[in-house]
Structure 1
Amino acid sequence: MRRGAWMVGLAMAIHALPLMAQAQTTIKVDAEGAVGRPGSAVYPSGARLSAVTAAAGVDHAAYALGAAWLQPGLAREQLRLRAGLVYELGAIRRQAMAADNALLAEGSAAFQTWLSGRPITGRRTGAALDPARLEVTPADDWPVHEGDTLFYPRRPADIRVVGAVGKACRLPHVPMQDARRYLASCPSSAAADPDLIYVVQPDGAVFEQNIALWNRSEPRPLAPGAWIYVPFNRHAIAGAADDGFNQDVANFLATQTLGEEGWQ
């Protein structure tokens, strides 16, 4: 009986070897959004971004600057980042209440609620996903991995302003307009840092822009789909949040994706 069971097990293992080898040499990668052939496809292990964009047939109307490479392995790190920011916003609120700073307490509570609802995407920032560029720039043509998704949105027509503002705003994009000038239509609150803002372009690039008269940076135009994060006053939140809090918020915003109607 034991010998017979052992022989059966050996036969099953030998039979499974080709399947195991296939699993080790192929991967499944999804393509979504403005592509001709959406959904999951099988690629050789080690396949690169260009192979996925070619097979998916990225549409000419796709907004490559806002395309997103989503990797499941990055989700846990981004979840921890969001949880830490939400915690710090709660600490900012408590400190502001103790100091009778009602505007900061209200603003941090509102932003805490908003940030808590942002999705964890697993987006890898800093990746060039324009199919034409991938064909001619091998350094940008990174290998893809099992479970990855390439998402190509359509071009939006607006930008968003969030953070220490009276109310989060969605504003029409104005070509070549300096990021600072959008604040005229979405004013900062009294809880805002008066000296700077953060610009998050739709490809995930993050820039700190000085806006005060004494330190003003060169104008920085926004691409459609960009974010402006108005940071909380670094002096007012000291002790409740670490020195990198505002930068971390901007970095988290860089992980967000554009949805089918411009915003997720």
Structure 2
Amino acid sequence: MKCPNLLLCGLLLIGSTVSQAAVTVSGDVLSPGQFEVKPGARLLDVIKASRPNAESYWLGAAWLHGSLVDKQVRLKAGVLFDLKLLQRVALLDDRNTRATLSARLYEQIERLPVTGREVAVLDPIALEVGFARNALLEDGDRLIYPARPSTVEVWGAVAQPCHVPYSAMQEARDYARQCAILSDAESDYLWLIQPDGQVRRVGVAAWNHQEGAVLAPGSRILVPIKNDDLDSPTPELNQQLAEFLATQPLAEVAP
């Protein structure tokens, strides 16, 4: 059947395309699945529909936003480039353990996906009362509500990534000390990655120790790799490594 009005047909076609926009909500919610959204739909619209469990770990919920994927692809590429560069410079300088660590971190980061995670408060109550930004959604966005973890993960210049049991009010350096920190670690700072994706560098040496560097369950600690004693132009490596780790959502099901 031919359409007698081209403008009307065009609007109908646009309308049918818009109606197919969808956002997926998964994890510890009462009604997981895909939700159709209209232009102007916001976070709270699909959060109310999916009904996150009141006992789920709202602090660690993640919003995976398609428009951030390209930016994070570049972030990951930059981290991988700097790790490869650091490995080569370390080999030239006979720092074999540094080169081995750089190569291992390269492999670990290469395996991690680019998620498009955007830092956001996804606590339904905070959104409803206006304490958090009720941002606009886009087609293909995902919301993940994880189970509450019981550990803190330590990454970076350690023998292997390790999980330390969470202990209330325990400081970051005390978690890190429970893992095998390598001699190629930078000893003055740690990078803290909270479950909501916030990233912060804290001093942990005697001269710069910052009190109150406590973590929530499911946080990650990056023990930075030393890179200021080599002729290697990678001054932002550890910060960008922490920022990329922050894009990784917590597991939907507790391990």
What is the deviation of 1:244?
A: 1.4
Match of 2:65 among 28, 51, 71: 71
Give the greater-gyration-radius structure (CA).
Answer: 1
Residue pair 2:89, 2:231 contacting (<8 A) in 1 also: no
Q: Counterpart of 2:73 in structure 1: which amino acid?
A: L
In structure 1, the partner of 2:27 is 33
Partners of 1:237 and 1:161 in 2: how far apart? 25
Partners of 2:214 and 2:26 in 1: how far apart? 28
Partners of 1:142 and 1:13 in 2: how far apart? 32
Match of 1:165 among 158, 164, 172: 158
Match of 2:228 among 224, 227, 235: 235
Q: Counterpart of 2:199 in structure 1: which amino acid?
A: V
Residue pair 2:86, 2:227 contacting (<8 A) in 1 also: no
Match of 2:85 among 91, 96, 102: 91
Residue pair 1:26, 1:45 contacting (<8 A) in 2 also: no
- 1:146 aligned onto 2:139: yes
Partners of 2:54 and 2:230 in 1: how far apart? 46
Q: Count matched residues.
A: 255
In structure 1, the partner of 2:169 is 176
In structure 2, the partner of 1:18 is 12
TM-score by length of 2: 0.93
In structure 1, the partner of 2:200 is 207
Residue pair 2:18, 2:38 contacting (<8 A) in 1 also: no
In structure 2, the partner of 1:62 is 56
In structure 1, the partner of 2:250 is 258
**Aligned-residue CA RMSD in angstroms?**
2.0
Partners of 1:210 and 1:169 in 2: how far apart? 21
Q: Counterpart of 2:150 in structure 1: which amino acid?
A: A
What is the deviation of 1:20?
A: 2.0
Identity of aligned residues (%): 36
Partners of 1:201 and 1:170 in 2: how far apart? 15
In structure 2, the partner of 1:118 is 112
Partners of 1:79 and 1:237 in 2: how far apart? 27
Partners of 2:230 and 2:53 in 1: how far apart? 45
In structure 2, the partner of 1:137 is 130
Residue pair 2:199, 2:243 contacting (<8 A) in 1 also: yes
What is the deviation of 1:196?
A: 0.3
Q: Counterpart of 1:234 in structure 2: which amino acid?
A: N
Partners of 1:58 and 1:191 in 2: how far apart? 43
What is the deviation of 1:139?
A: 5.2
Residue pair 1:225, 1:262 contacting (<8 A) in 2 also: no
Q: Counterpart of 1:64 in structure 2: which amino acid?
A: W
What is the deviation of 1:54?
A: 0.4
Q: Counterpart of 1:85 in structure 2: which amino acid?
A: V
Partners of 1:41 and 1:238 in 2: how far apart? 52
- 1:194 aligned onto 2:181: no
Unmatched 5+ residue regions in structure 2? Answer: none
Query: Bigger shift: 130-139 or 151-160?
Result: 130-139
In structure 1, the partner of 2:96 is 102
Q: After TM superposition, which residue ranges in structure 1, 4 or more long, deviate above 4 angstroms?
A: 9-16
Unmatched 5+ residue regions in structure 1? Answer: 1-6
Deviation by residue 1:212-251 (Cα, 9 ceiling, x = unmatched):
111111131110110000111131355242x211111111
Q: Counterpart of 1:71 in structure 2: which amino acid?
A: H
TM-score by length of 1: 0.90
SS of 2:21 mapped into structure 1: strand
Residue pair 2:159, 2:180 contacting (<8 A) in 1 also: yes
